[in-house]
Chains A and B, each alone.
Chain A
Amino acid sequence: MAKTHVKMKVNGAEVEGLVEPRTLLIHFLRENLNLTGAHIGCETSHCGACTVDIDGMSVKSCTMFAVQAEGADITTIEGVANADGTLSALQEGFRQMHGLQCGFCTPGMILRAHRLLQENPNPSEAEIRLGISGNLCRCTGYQNIVKAIQYAAAKINGTEFTEAAQ
């Protein structure tokens, strides 16, 4: 099968590779670039575990061909920590608020929450729940994921985070 040359920016670095047109972006990221943070969950565009940020959009990388990402600027979970290696506000929020248990959905959750907070820096609880409605978590029941995103929003906005009364 003839292969196509692709070039894109991933986590700030220019990368390139040879792919079949049918190669899904998630496979290019995981197998060609060894970036295994974005996970393959359902493979049917439902679970959101493969979510990455592409040119300012949250995208399910199992539902896009690598050739479609030619020239794109992509961020995966490997690229979200602060430049000095410390955790980003969202990563810290997930840790502090116990926003993960098995951790499988977490990279997709964090990338989706990242774009949500870029578009809406101070979302309500309902907006957060709507915003992550394309990401499934089978462990947490979402409560602590919502708190983790609220924690991150507060940290980024420089406001105080208070957990809602139970």
Chain B
Amino acid sequence: MIPGAFDYHKPKTLAAAVKLLTQLGDEAHPLAGGQSLIPMMKLRFASPEHLVDVGGIEGLRGVTREKDRLVIGAMTTQHDLLASGDVAGALPLLQEAALVIADPQVRYRGTIGGNVANGDPGNDMPALMLTLGAGYRLQGPGGKREVEAAKFYKGAYDTALKAGEILTAVSIPVPPIGHGHAYEKLKRKVGDYATAAAAVVLTMKAGKVASCSIGLTNLADTPLLATKAAKIITGSSLDEATLKKAVDAARAIMSPAADGRGTVDYRVHVGGIMVARALKRAASVAG
């Protein structure tokens, strides 16, 4: 399968990339790891006339600690996340999720920036970013700005990115030491997108949930925060009755598409199971 023809640009600076994307307009698309875009181009679901490869720009790759936040450059690959001591120490949830994204080869190339920015509801990182309360650093013709992950996703492939804007980094508040975390992803095979997945970050105090955040992947046309479910579970000891109430509240906001992964009813059903499993496992690893 051969993608449609395009012109290839490889700017050396962020400013040059922004300028190119702004000038070329809708016909241009940034190219990061290419692990989603290139398959889409081969299937002719995407046929941009210009690709602006951001792989040659210095400073977009790597993990840095900024006070109480971990800042991850957009071109940091899933493989980099798995190899990062900073991520292992501060945000083990990211490594757990990175390990169920695609396969080893794709993880060497696929980037966190591409994963969160392209707006595919099947991507795993967006729901994690919502769960962790992350912010996205964007740079465009009007300068820099930061958008909360929770306000970034408008619909399938529709995000808050404006014309000419590039996501340069994600900035994640480091959860407290001893927090519990889990990402439960049901998929048909290695490399598949989630049939349903749930991310949980929580803290426990004296056997009860002190704080809780729940994110959902591929259960609507955007990633979701199950805020009502999280509120129900907070203060409980995760007893079966409360767990059931929280799962019901999470299921109430799910609106997945029926596709090869299952019917709407099935995906909502297993979506609830992912929430319950993630809550239980997160509580079990909380210190």
Binding site for B on A (CB under 8 A): 1-2, 4, 20-22, 24, 27, 43-46, 48, 51, 57-60, 63-65, 67-68, 112, 116, 130-134
Q: Is the CB of B34 within 8 A of A59?
A: no
Q: Tell me whether B109 and A21 are in contact (CB under 8 A).
A: no
Contacts beyond the supplied A68-B34, A131-B104: 10 A-B pairs with Cβ under 8 Å? A44-B39, A45-B106, A46-B191, A59-B105, A60-B109, A63-B106, A64-B38, A68-B55, A133-B191, A134-B102
Which of B7, B8, B39, B43 is in CB contact (< 8 Å) with A63? B39
- Let me know if B266 is at the binding interface, CB within 8 A: no
Q: Are B34 and A63 in contact (CB under 8 A)?
A: yes
- The reply to whether A134 and B103 form a contact with Cβ atoms under 8 Å apart is yes
Instruction: Give B222-246 as 1s and 0s: 1 = Cβ < 8 Å from A's Cβ atoms.
Output: 0000000000000000000000000
User: Which of chain B's residues has its CB closest to A129's CB?
Assistant: B190
Is A43's CB under 8 angstroms from B4's CB?
A: no
User: Which chain B residue has the least Cβ–Cβ distance from A116?
Assistant: B104
* B75-97 Cβ-contact flags toward A at 8 Å (1 or 0): 00001000000000000000000
- Nearest-Cβ distance from residue A73 to partner chain B, whole angstroms: 14
The CA of A20 and the CA of B34, in the complex, are separated in Å by 17
Residues facing A in B1-46 (CB within 8 A) are: 1-8, 10, 31, 34-35, 38-39, 41-43
- Is B248 an interface position by the 8 A CB rule? no
Supposing A68-B53, A131-B104, A133-B190 touch, asked if A57 and B109 sit within 8 A by C-beta, the answer is yes
* Most chain B beta carbons < 10 A, residue from A4, A21, A43, A67: A21
B108 at the A/B interface (Cβ < 8 Å)? yes
Give B contacts to A, CB under 8 Å: 1-8, 10, 31, 34-35, 38-39, 41-43, 51, 53, 55, 79, 102-106, 108-109, 190-191
Distance (Å) between the CB of A19 and the closest chain B CB?
10
Please, how many angstroms separate the alpha-carbon atoms of A44 and B8 in the complex? 22
Shortest Cβ-Cβ A-B pairs, 8 listed: A134-B103, A21-B8, A57-B108, A133-B190, A134-B105, A22-B3, A43-B1, A60-B105
CA distance A63 to B39 in the complex (A): 7
B5 contacts A134, C-beta separation under 8 Å: no
Contact A51 B8 (CB under 8 A): no
Which residue of chain A is the closest to B50 with respect to CB atoms? A21
Residue on A nearest B51 in the bound complex, by CB: A21
Select which of B3, B6, B10, B104 is within 8 A of A134 by beta carbon.
B104
Q: How far apart are the CA atoms of A21 and B53 in the complex, in Å?
A: 11
**Which residues of chain B are within 8 angstroms of A65 by Cβ–Cβ distance?**
8, 34, 38
State the CA gap A48–B106 with chains docked (Å). Answer: 10
Say whether B51 contacts A133, CB under 8 Å. Answer: no
- 9 of the cross-chain contacts (CB-CB < 8 Å) are A1-B5, A20-B5, A45-B35, A45-B38, A58-B104, A58-B108, A67-B10, A112-B105, A131-B104
CB distance from B223 to the nearest CB of A (A): 23
Closest to B41 in A: A22
Which residue from B6, B35, B104, B190 sits with its C-beta under 8 Å from A21?
B6
Once A21-B6, A21-B51, A43-B42 are accepted as A-B contacts, the answer to whether A59 and B109 lie under 8 Å apart by CB is yes
